[in-house]
Amino acid sequence: MAQLAPIATALTAGVSVFNSVQQGQAQSANAKAQANAARVQEAARVEQTALQQAAEARARESRLAGTLASTRARLAASGISPDEGSAAALTTGMEREAAAAQSDSDQIFASRLAAGRRSLLNNDGSLTSYLRAGTSFGTSLRNLLD
């Protein structure tokens, strides 16, 4: 009977290690599924942000074109050449302001993308489960030797 105790302990250790490895594989699969879902959500968020930025840029361009056309028409109607002197400076200033607004929008877009990035240091649990299995195996082996 005393000879069966080490065998039973060895079998228990083997089952414990097997269960730990199975649990680790399940955790790893779950972590991979969560990572894939996070990637899909991130891609959707990036696409949505890009579409929003493109729509805002088109709206700004449209407003600028309308404002410039209106300003040029008013200047021309009052007898001032819209391509010379202060009229040209006015239209050039409007174009510069629109370019600055686009630059600001691009910076906000870049910061939105950067804020949503997940860290490369996030663990997926795969190594942890194997370390736990090794620890439980080591504990079982030490109990066997004692």
Classify 93 as helix, strand or coil: helix
pTM of the model: 0.48
| Residues with Cβ within 8 Å of residue 1, at least 6 apart in sequence | none
pLDDT tens-digit profile of 1-51?
567 777 777 778 788 888 888 888 888 888 888 888 888 888 888 788 788
What separation in angstroms does the CA of 55 have from each of 48, 51, 60, 71, 81? 11, 6, 9, 24, 33
